Chains A and B, each alone.
Chain A
Amino acid sequence: DTAVSQTPKYLVTQMGNDKSIKCEQNLGHDTMYWYKQDSKKFLKIMFSYNNKELIINETVPNRFSPKSPDKAHLNLHINSLELGDSAVYFCASSQDLAGNEQFFGPGTRLTVL
């Protein structure tokens, strides 16, 4: 059974478009995260949510808007896509805010043309 799943796995789109990436975890965790990994494999946190409440927002442009309809889902909506948004986006979850192990999804490779 997949623990943390993301859709789609690949996303190719034009500059200026709006797109969403979905994430679901079936681990019963309270806390979920979005990370961005650039072409040099540098991984940086974007957001974290705990029980649907925003905890971390790491100076991400407000074109990025996370939405957590329930604690098992954390979706990422991106408006007005730019070339620099091309990256692999990883969703992750942990038991709670103090959880030491984060479980990562397989990633969504976003390419903006």
Chain B
Amino acid sequence: GEDVEQSLFLSVREGDSSVINCTYTDSSSTYLYWYKQEPGAGLQLLTYIFSNMDMKQDQRLTVLLNKKDKHLSLRIADTQTGDSAIYFCAESARRGYQKVTFGTGTKLQVIP
């Protein structure tokens, strides 16, 4: 079955770059996502990438995809205290419907 793994915790200083990594097992993954969950709230989609792309940039966010190694990363440039949250990697494959499998989540702590 599908499996998505992430490291549990990352701590960075304000102004530095953060890199959150994710590995997945489903070779038929079509879409890969990054969601953000702030304390006491639901998840919010940050960005997603098609599996035929290897990079996507959106303002301070850069997503890199290594399809051969099934490795996805999210880089946040100039990390701010407001970026402190849990970041979930997720994947889905077109099987007539979207079933999204979420990773274990990485808690990002930004130190002022």
Contacts and interface: CB of A to CB of B under 8 A. Distances in A.
Interface of A: 4, 40-45, 48, 50, 55-56, 90, 92, 94, 97-107
Contacts, number: 57
Interface centre among B42, B44, B99, B104 (most CB of A within 10 A): B42
A99 B98 contact: yes
Contacts of A92: 42-43
B14 to A, nearest CB: 24
Contact of B31 (A43, A48, A100): A100
B24 interface: no
Please report whether the interface of chain B is mostly helix, strand, loop or mixed according to DSSP: strand
Contacts of A103: 45
Interface string B53-87: 00000000000000000000000000000000010
Given A43-B102, A100-B48, A4 B97 contact: no
B99 A56 contact: yes
B49 to A, nearest CB: 10
A22 B21 CA distance: 35
Give 9 nearest A-B pairs by CB, closest first.
Answer: A104-B42, A97-B97, A43-B102, A104-B43, A41-B105, A101-B45, A106-B42, A105-B42, A90-B42
